[in-house]
Amino acid sequence: MSVTAAEGFVAAGCHAGIKRKRFDMALLATEDRQPVPCAAVFTRNKFAAPPVELDRALLAANGGLAAGVIVNSGNANAGTGAKGRADAEAMGECAAGALGVPAGAVLVCSTGIIGTPLPMDPIVHATPRLAKKLSRHGADDAARGILTTDHVTKQVVIQGSTFTLGGMAKGCGMIAPNMGTMLAFLTTDADVPREAMQRILAEASDRTFNTLNVDGATSTNDTAMLFASGKRGRCNLEEFANAVQVACEELTFKMARDAEGMTRIALLKVTGARSDREARIAAKAIAENNLVKCSWYGGDPYWGRLLAAAGSCDVEMDVARSFVCYGGVRVAEGGTGIDHDAQTLTEHMMGDTIQIEVNLGTGGGAAQVIGIDLGPGYIKENSKTS
C-alpha cells in the first residue's frame, strides 16, 4: 500500500493514452478531500518545467497546503513555454474538478520527454476516471503510472511508533546531484508542522536524493513532496525525521539499482578534502567521469582514473598525502600504486556494489555520492528517447 499506507490518503493509476501501452497517469489525494500540509523540494535547474513553476507558485500562495497531486508520465511538459504553463494549470484544474476541491488545491507533476506539447485530450478524459478509481488499494497502480523508462516500481513503507510513512518514486536516468529526473511522493498520518516538514524533507533530500549521480544530467522536472494528514496526532520529530531519511534512502537505492543500463553501483566517498564543499565537487567529478564509469562496468580497480578526475576539478589536492581504497583495500598512496591483497580486491570488484574511498590529503572535508557504471545498456536506452 506504500503511498496509501498512512491514514487519510487514496491513490489511483491508469493508462490514459500518452504512452502506447503502459500506465501513464497517477492521482494521489486526501481521502476526505481536505487540503493538508505539503512540503516540497524541486529541481535547481534554471530551465525548470512549467509544472514545477506552477507548484512553487501554488504552495507559496496557499501556505503550503494541498489536497492532492496529479501526475503524468511520458511527457515532461518542459520546454513548452506559455502553452505548457496553461496546460499544467488546466491539468490541475481538471483534477480539482474531478475531486470536488477548489482550483489550486491540486499540485501537478509531469515526467518524460522534453520539448513536446502535453497531449491534453487523453489527460482530460482520463482524469475523472482516475478520481473514481481512488482507493486505499490504489498505491501500486499509482506507482506504475509515474514511471518512464523505469523497469520496476519504487515503493516504501516505514512504521514509526506513533505514525506511518509511505512513499513512491520514479527515476532511473537523467539523474545528478540536486535530484534527477525523479519524482517522489511521501505521505504520513503524523501531525507535523509544515515548517518542520519542509526542513526535514530538504535535509533528507540532501543526504539521499542529492547524492545519486547516474549521468550528471540535472532534470527539468525533479520534485519530491511530503503530505501529512495528521490523522494520528503529533509525533516525536526526531523519530519522524529519521523515518523520512530512511524512506528517502531506500527510494534512492531503488532508483540507483534501476538506473538505465546499470550493472554496478559505486558508493564513492571522498575524504581528506579542504572542505565538505570541495569534497562534493571532487566526488561529482569522479562519478560523472566516463572513463571512471567504464572501469566500474569492467570491474577494473583503475585508481589512476579516480585521482585524475579529482585532480582536474579545481579543488585542493596534496598528491603526496593522498590514497585510494576499493572495498577497504588500499591500492594507492602518494599518487602511486602499492602492494595489496589482489584476490580480495578482485572479489570485491566483481560484486554489484563497489565501495571506493578517495582521500585528497588536504583536510577534514568529506562527501559521498552514489554512482553507477557506464555500459552499452545506457547508450542503447538514451540513443532513442527522442
Which residues belong to the active site? 181
**CA distances, 126 to each of 94, 134, 139, 379 (Å):** 10, 13, 17, 34
For residue 192, give the C-alpha cell.
507535523
**CA distances, 277 to each of 295, 363, 364, 383 (Å):** 26, 12, 11, 34
152: amino acid identity, one letter: V
Rounded-to-10 torsion of CA 78, 2, 377, 181: 20
Stretch (H or E) spanning 49: none
Q: How is residue 22 annotated by DSSP? A: S
Stretch (H or E) spanning 94: helix 81-99
CB 370 within 8 A of CB 253: yes
Cell numbers 593522498 correspond to what residue? 322
DSSP state string for 130-178: HHHH-BTT-HHHHHHHT-SS-SS-EEEEEE-SS-EEEEEEE-SSSB-SS
DSSP state string for 207-254: HTGGGEESSS---S--EEEEEE--TT-B--HHHHHHHHHHHHHHHHHH
For residue 378, give the C-alpha cell.
545506457
CB 21 within 8 A of CB 91: no
